[in-house]
């Protein structure tokens, strides 16, 4: 009997990796645990992802895409009359609302780049993707600064167990945004 054609298998493996990492953390992630979660043979995980880092890269990239898409879809960020700090603060609030476990997983994957160099380019893609949208409204340095502030606020909320404070975020982002002059020539 020949190999069964399964075009969705790679994606199911990535989704299983995200579930395993969400339940057990990155330390609990292995080809074996992911294969069991995806209900595929172990050889399928190693066929699609030669190394665990390859699998983590795919999981991080998929995880990043959700927030990046929210940024791209946020029409107010492209509106020249919109309050960019307010738009960004609201966006972070939407992202974090009711999905703390998902946000924690995204950050766990993101921060795993500290010990896994293969993930660093993907972590950088996230920062660059968000900054690219912001550069339409400000200079490149300010765009990177806004991304760093958003990242820092999210980490503080996650690490302290606190609640997201949209007014504080709007104020802090406004200070960064307005200190550079908000218009791009």
Structural fold of domain 53-179 = Tetracycline Repressor; domain 2 (1.10.357)
Q: Note whether 183 and 136 are within 8 A (CB).
A: no
Q: 120-152, pLDDT tens digit by residue? A: 999 898 888 889 888 988 999 999 999 999 999
CB under 8 A, 24+ apart: contacts of 125-133: 125/61, 125/64, 126/64, 126/67, 126/68, 127/151, 129/64, 129/68, 129/71, 130/67, 130/68, 130/71, 133/71, 133/72, 133/74, 133/77, 133/78
Q: Where are the domains of the chain?
A: 1-50, 53-179
Q: 146-180, pLDDT tens digit by residue? A: 999 999 999 999 899 888 999 999 999 999 999 87
What average pLDDT does this structure show over 111-115? 91
What is 1-50's CATH number, 1.10.10.60, 1.20.120.450, 3.10.450.50, 1.10.3720.10?
1.10.10.60
Q: Indicate if the pLDDT at residue 119 is higher than 50.
A: yes
Q: Indicate if the pLDDT at residue 73 is higher than 60.
A: yes
């Amino acid at each position: 009997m020949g190999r069964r054609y399964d075009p969705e298998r790679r994606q199911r493996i990535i989704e299983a990796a995200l579930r395993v990492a969400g339940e057990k953390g990155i330390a609990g992630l292995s080809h074996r645990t992911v294969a069991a979660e995806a209900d595929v043979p172990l050889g399928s995980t190693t066929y699609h992802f030669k190394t665990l880092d390859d699998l983590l890269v795919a999981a991080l990239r998929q995880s990043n895409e959700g927030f990046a898409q929210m940024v791209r879809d946020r029409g107010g960020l492209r509106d020249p009359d919109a309050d960019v700090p307010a738009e960004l603060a609201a966006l972070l609030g939407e992202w974090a609302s009711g999905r703390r476990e998902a946000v924690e997983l995204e950050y766990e994957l993101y921060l795993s780049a500290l010990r896994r160099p293969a993930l660093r380019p993907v972590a950088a893609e996230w920062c660059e993707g968000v900054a690219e949208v912001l550069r339409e409204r400000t200079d490149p340095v300010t765009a990177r600064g806004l991304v760093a502030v958003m990242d820092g606020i999210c980490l503080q909320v996650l690490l302290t167990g606190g609640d997201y404070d949209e007014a504080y975020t709007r104020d802090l982002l406004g200070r960064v945004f307005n200190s550079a002059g908000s218009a791009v020539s």
